[in-house]
Amino acid sequence: MKAYEILMDMAVIMVCAKFMGLLARKLKAPMVVGEIIAGVLIGPCLLNFVQPSEYLNMFAEIGVILIMFSAGLETNLTELKKSGLIALVIACVGVFVPLGCGTLLYIGFNGFDGIGSESFFKALMIGCIMTATSVGITVEALKEMGYLKGRVGQTILSAAIIDDIIGIVVLTFVLSMKDPSSKIGVVCLKVFGFLAASFILGFLIYKIFKVVDDKYPHTRRIPIIAVSLCFVLAYVAEEYFGIADITGAYIAGIILCNVRDAEYIDRKVSVNGYMFFAPLFFVGIGLKTSFSGIGAETILFSLAFVAVAMLSKLIGCGLASKCFKFKNIDCVKIGAGMMTRGEVALIITNKGLSLGVIDPSVSTAVILLIIVSSVVTPVFLKYLYSKSPDPVEESE
Amino acid sequence: MKAYEILMDMAVIMVCAKFMGLLARKLKAPMVVGEIIAGVLIGPCLLNFVQPSEYLNMFAEIGVILIMFSAGLETNLTELKKSGLIALVIACVGVFVPLGCGTLLYIGFNGFDGIGSESFFKALMIGCIMTATSVGITVEALKEMGYLKGRVGQTILSAAIIDDIIGIVVLTFVLSMKDPSSKIGVVCLKVFGFLAASFILGFLIYKIFKVVDDKYPHTRRIPIIAVSLCFVLAYVAEEYFGIADITGAYIAGIILCNVRDAEYIDRKVSVNGYMFFAPLFFVGIGLKTSFSGIGAETILFSLAFVAVAMLSKLIGCGLASKCFKFKNIDCVKIGAGMMTRGEVALIITNKGLSLGVIDPSVSTAVILLIIVSSVVTPVFLKYLYSKSPDPVEESE
């Protein structure tokens, strides 16, 4: 492939992704759904304008790394410290209940071959996909109604942040077990070794970066060094610890999230993201989608997958909040707010696909989950708040 | 190569490029020179941290496209209309004298096989490399002394813009002749066909884009559509007209340079450029540099190349301005101001290298030219202005 030949593909992808993304937003669906559909439209499945290629894959991978870095950067550690036990418990339950339910769902469809078997690993991956909350849609809905600053809203927000961190730790564990010969002890050692090393080194890096940042605020070198750090951590995670590169990128984001220029870095990373890399990832998912293998069982699995993913969050987080003396309806609000899924679920799916431990048909189920949860959640929340407005917000 | 493996290379390249670029700027040399030296340092030649790869090449190519697009976007058509005949004549002479001298230089070293021969084509490419003025350094020097708004300063600025456009047309012609079987009539037809089509279509695109831009100013879709247009034109130029992709990208920039959001687009493109793509291009040149083939003749050729490139601009532009009743010393100032070379000379060299019509050793000569011209010009201009300050500026 000559270098210039990729230009046409990129142009088509960028324009279609933007157009379909805007269309999706108009229809109150998440923009990523529009971008995926753009990929299906222009891909081999339908119009065949663009074929998946190694180069597009490379761009998409960098897109994923940048998205995870950005997610880490946007973590509000100060907020997190304040949120305390309630959010922590809700987040834990919100990770482990869907993880368990997702695993059981896969076993229900495909049978159980014992812990440590390949099919058990596949089942765990399905569970992992279900763990990642994406509160973007919820936040928007709460903001619109003016309830974001209420107790329920703040609890959802804090729980979602912790949920992300726990989710990534769980994913890291599961992915480290991909090699069937790996012993659980070695896996634990690797994961804890990496986490410990990155938190100790991370603190050092944070201190050094802070000095550089304070000396040269808002200069180009700041985001360049930051992104390089993200790339290095992603590489080191994969190469030396056998841990997912996305974990490394996310941790790089957390290390730098308290730096004064964190928002500035995030903005620069986002420009690269939204123009080239991120659309190539989401469109790429669409490009690789194939309708050929879809039969009755796939449809049944997809529907069950969506139902289990949403109910496990709703019931898990709802019951967890009940322990902290929330009113019944407020427990439902918290559970409902945690139901939405987004980019991270797709990224985990993609990771599983590239490792060959997830069937291509799961993509369809995940896309369906994103669409359904993002449409249902805001409607459901509006209904709940109309029945019982948040008292904290009313007194303001 | 696994996707994550490129991350480490990118991180090393980005950080080293930035560091060496800043060091170069401290030493009053152009930043690109620092970036190239970074490539030599970390490349197979010396430390061997990073090897050239297909993926890095792809990024570098996109970098080139974005740089040329940006150069087109920064064209000030309004200024151009005002500048008139003087600048046009100086620019023409400033393109054709170096083109002729460069061609003769190559023939002097390698002999003449007749017009239409491969060696004549190679000679023309050497001429083309010499045509592209890069006034960045000159503008900075004039600004520092407070003479940019003077008559001489404005003449240099306008001439440099026209110089770029004529230079790209000449390059387009020369590159279209790369196929030895191509008839000059067909080449002319293709080039004029492309230019005519892009100016007619360009006007249409400009009108449509203006409507979109006025409706959605400063939204993300504006730079996305703009960059896509640039990619499409670059692709169409290569694929259907046999014309260099960089010409297409440059024309896309000119088409959009009068749009209200031109500067906004340029800024977004630059963020992508300086973070990922552009450093990969300049560092890539360093990576591919090899000292193994450098003998006495290469050194002699390089020195002659630098001397011819600088003197042909100095004398050509100087004499041309003499026709417009400039004082002798002001003619020298104009000639001196046009001597500097930069990115575009490198881009043309790279184009020639990838087509196999330029010897790798020419890279070294071009890098030397950029360094020498960027160091000599400001010093020389300061000396000239100290002898004869610009009267226009003094009266202000």
- Please list, residue by residue across A179-196, b when 16 or more beta carbons sit within 10 angstroms of its beta carbon and e when fewer do: eeeeeeeebeebbeebbe
Tokens of A382: 């509006």
| Structure-model confidence comparison of residues A349 and A395, the more confident one | A349
Mean pLDDT for all residues in chain B: 88
Which of B7, B23, B269, B283 is most worth mutating to test chain A (most A CB atoms within 10 A of its CB)? B7
Run of H or E residues at A344: helix A343-355
Query: Above 70 in pLDDT, residue B180?
Result: no
A113-136 per-position pLDDT tens digit? 888 788 899 999 999 999 988 887
- Per-residue pLDDT of B210-247, as tens digits, reads 999 999 988 889 999 999 999 999 999 888 887 888 88
The encoded tokens of residue A297 equal 């069982």
* H-only helix segments in A177-295: 184-215, 221-241, 245-256, 262-272, 278-288
pLDDT band at A12 (very low <50, low <70, confident <90, very high): very high
For helices B296-322 and B360-387, angle between their N-to-C axes, nearest 10 degrees = 40
Verify whether the Cβ–Cβ distance B58 to A6 is below 8 Å: yes
Of A11, A62, A235, the CB nearest to B231: A11
State the smallest CA–CA distance between residue A156 and chain B in angstroms.
30
For chain A, give the percent of residues with pLDDT over 90: 43
pLDDT the model gives residue A395: 40
In a 3-state reduction of DSSP, which class is residue A321? helix
What fold, for B5-395?
A: Na+/H+ antiporter like fold (1.20.1530)
Task: Mention every residue, 6+ apart, whose C-beta is less than 8 A from residue B28.
Answer: B375, B378
CB atoms within 10 A of CB B80: 17
Contact (CB, 8 A) for A259 and B31? no
pLDDT of residue B130: 95
Round to whole Å and give the CA distance between A230 and A215.
Answer: 21
Comparison of pLDDT for B23 and B77, the residue scoring more:
B23
Residue A290's φ and ψ, nearest 5 degrees, are -135, 135
Higher pLDDT, B75 or B12: B12
What are the tens digits of pLDDT across the range B308-320? 999 999 999 999 9
- Cα–Cα dist B382/B69, whole Å: 32
Q: Residue B393 pLDDT > 60, yes or no?
A: no
Considering only CB atoms, B275 lies closest to which of A8, A22, A227, namely A227
- Residues near A166 by beta carbon (within 8 Å), at least 6 away in sequence: A91, A92, A95, A131
Average pLDDT rounded to a whole number, residues A250-274: 89
Task: Decide which of A24 and B45 is more confident.
Answer: A24
> pLDDT tens digits, residue range A49-100?
998 888 888 898 899 899 889 988 988 777 777 767 889 999 999 999 999 9
Return the half-sphere exposure (C-beta side, CA atoms, 13 A cut-off) of residue A222: 23
Residue B13 CB neighbour total at 10 angstroms: 29
> Which pLDDT does position A393 carry in this prediction?
45
- Whether the Cβ atoms of residue A365 and residue A341 lie closer than 8 Å to each other: no
Rounded CA separation A68/A54 (Å)? 21
Using CB atoms within 10 Å of the CB of residue A322, give its burial: 0 to 12 exposed, 13 to 18 middle, 19+ buried. Answer: middle
Structure tokens at B67: 């740089």
Measure A21 CA to nearest chain B CA, in Å. 11
Using 50, 70 and 90 to split pLDDT, how confident is the model at A218? confident
pLDDT-based confidence at residue B68 (cuts at 50, 70, 90) = confident
- A58 contacts in chain B (CB < 8 Å): 3, 6, 55, 58
Check whether B396 has a pLDDT greater than 50: no
Q: Using alpha carbons, select from B61, B65, B68 the residue that is nearest to residue B257.
A: B68
Q: What would the pLDDT profile of B80-137 be if each residue is shown by its tens digit?
A: 777 678 899 999 999 999 999 999 999 999 988 888 788 899 999 999 999 988 887 8
CA angle A108, A111, A113 (to 5 degrees): 135
B122: left (phi over 0), alpha (psi -120 to 50) or beta: alpha
Residue B392 pLDDT more than 60? no
pLDDT at B76 over 90: no
Specify the DSSP class assigned to residue A4.
Answer: T
At which residue do the structure tokens 């730098």 appear?
A256
Among A22-31, A136-145, B29-38, B228-237, top mean pLDDT goes to B228-237
Mean pLDDT, rounded, for A356-372:
89
Residue B72 has pLDDT above 70, yes or no: yes
Report the distance separating Cα B284 and Cα B276, nearest Å.
Answer: 12
Partner-chain contact B235 A11, CB within 8 Å: yes
What's the farthest any 2 CA atoms get from each other in chain A? 64
* Residues composing chain A: 396
Question: Which string of DSSP letters, residue by residue, matches A122-139?
Answer: HHHHHHHHHH---THHHH
CB contact under 8 A, A18 and B221: yes
For A219, phi then psi, to 5°, come to -100, 165
Kindly state the tokens that stand for A35: 């971008």
Mean pLDDT (chain A, rounded): 88
Amino acid at residue number B162: I
Contact (Cβ atoms closer than 8 angstroms) between residue A67 and residue A281: yes
Average pLDDT over residues B244-253: 90
Report which of A315, A361, A357, A360 is spatially closest to residue A338, judged by C-alpha positions: A315
Question: What is the reported pLDDT for B1?
Answer: 62
For B311-363, how does the pLDDT look when each residue is reduced to its tens digit (9 = 90+)? Answer: 999 999 999 999 988 999 999 999 999 999 988 899 999 888 888 888 888 98
Number of H helices, E strands in chain B: 17, 0
Q: Give CA–CA dist A48/A90, Å, rounded.
A: 45
Predicted local confidence at residue B2, as pLDDT: 72
pLDDT at A394: 42
Query: Looking at residue B306, what is its pLDDT?
Result: 96
CB contact under 8 A, B7 and A235: yes
Per DSSP, the three-state class of A44 is coil
Selected for mutation to probe chain B from A1, A2, A7, A243 (highest B CB count within 10 Å) is A7
Alpha helices in B146-272 (DSSP H): 151-176, 184-215, 221-241, 245-256, 262-272
- pTM of the full predicted structure? 0.87
List, in order, residues 6 or more apart from B283 with CB less than 8 Å away: B13, B16, B17, B35, B36, B38, B39, B42
A216-231: average pLDDT: 92
A275/B57 CB distance under 8 A: no
Supply the pLDDT for residue A1: 62
Position B159, amino acid: A
Tell me which amino acid residue A127 is.
Answer: G
Top residue of A57, A231, A246, A282 to mutate, by most chain B CBs within 10 Å, is: A231
Listed in sequence order, the residues at least 6 apart from B62 whose beta carbon sits closer than 8 Å to its beta carbon are A3, A6, A7, A10, B277
* Position B302 pLDDT exceeds 90: yes
pLDDT above 80: residue B383? yes
**pLDDT confidence tier of residue A305, bands split at 50, 70 and 90:** very high
pLDDT of residue A157: 85
Q: Round to whole Å and give the CA distance between B224 and B163.
A: 29
* Closest-CA distance of chain A to residue B347, Å: 14
Count contacts between A and B (CB, < 8 Å): 123
Decide if pLDDT at A392 tops 70: no
CA distance A235 to chain B (A): 6
Interatomic CA distance for residues B235 and B237, integer angstroms = 5
